[in-house]
Amino acid sequence: MALEVIPQSDKTTVGDYVYELIKRNIVRLKLEPGKRISENEISELLGVSRTPVREAFIKLSREDLLYVLPQRGTYVSQIDMTQVEEARFIREVLESAVLKLVTQGIDVTFIKLLEQNLEAQRRWTDADGFTTYMELDEKFHEIIFESVHKQRTWEVIEQVNTQYRRVRILSYSFNNMISSLIDQHAALLEAIRNRDEARGQEIISMHTRKLLHEQSELMERYPGYFKSK
C-alpha cells in the first residue's frame, strides 16, 4: 500500500496522527475511491497497534470516507457529487457574505498576509505541486475570513470540505488551472483593496462554480471514482 507518510508531531496523539494521515491520503487521492484498505497493512506500515487504526476507520466511516462490506473488507468511499455540490453551495454563500464585510475595510496587516500568500502560490504552478498549492489556496481564503473575525465560520466550511477537495485534486489531474486560479486570487485581492464588492462577488462566483462546469467530464473520465446516483 503506497501511503504518503508524514512524521508524527510531538503534540499529536497516535490516534489523531493515524486518523489525520489516512484522511490526508484519501483527500489527496493517494488512497483512490473504491480501493480496499486493511487495518493490518496500515498498522504494520505505520508501526502502530491495530487499535488506533480501527478507531480511525470508524471515524472516517462516519464521515462517509470509508465503508464496510461484510465478509469483504473496508473500502475508500466513492466521491458523492451531492455532497460536493452542497459543500460548494455552502462555501459560495458564506464567502459571499464575508466578502461583503471585507470590502467595507480591511486592516493592512491582512492585506500583507494575502500578498505573501499569493506570492507563495506563484511558486507552485506545476502538477506535482498542486496539493501544496491547494493548501495555500485554502489559507488565502481563511485569511479573508480571519480579517473580519469569522474564524468559526471558516471552520463550518472546513467541516464540509472533504469531498469538495477530492474533486478539486481530481480536476487538476487533467486540467492545469493553477495559473487562472492565481489570477482570480490576484483580482480578488485587488477588489478587496479597492473596496469593490461587485467585482469581488463576481470573482467569488467564478471561483466556486468552476467545478459545476467540469463534473460531467470528471465523471466520464473517472467513472469508478464516483458514487452512483
| Cα 99 from Cα 144, distance rounded (Å) | 8
Residue 210 burial (CB count, 10 A): 17
Mean per-residue pLDDT of the chain? 90
What's the pLDDT tens digit per position in 156-178?
A: 999 888 888 898 888 776 556 77
**CATH topology for 81-225?**
Four Helix Bundle (Hemerythrin (Met), subunit A) (1.20.120)
Question: Which has the higher per-residue pLDDT, 228 or 184?
Answer: 184
- Which whole number is the average pLDDT over 33-51? 94
What the block records as the C-alpha cell of 12 is 499529536
Contact yes or no for 114/189 (Cβ under 8 A): yes
What is the DSSP-derived secondary structure letter of residue 63?
T
Burial 37-57 (b: 16+ CB within 10 A, else e): bebeebbeebebeeebbeebb
CATH number corresponding to 14-76: 1.10.10.10
- Which whole number is the average pLDDT over 41-57? 94
| Cα 154 from Cα 207, distance rounded (Å) | 17
| Cα 115 from Cα 192, distance rounded (Å) | 12
Share of the chain above pLDDT 70, in %: 95
pTM of whole model > 0.75?
Answer: yes
Q: What is the domain partition of the chain in residue ranges?
A: 14-76, 81-225
Residue 164 burial (CB count, 10 A): 21
pLDDT at 16: 94
Domain 14-76 matches domain 81-225 at the CATH topology level? no
pLDDT at 129: 65
What's the pLDDT tens digit per position in 126-146?
A: 655 677 888 899 999 999 999
pLDDT at 155: 95
What the block records as the C-alpha cell of 132 is 501544496
- Which whole number is the average pLDDT over 25-42? 93
Bridge partners of 36, per DSSP, are: 75
pLDDT at 176: 62
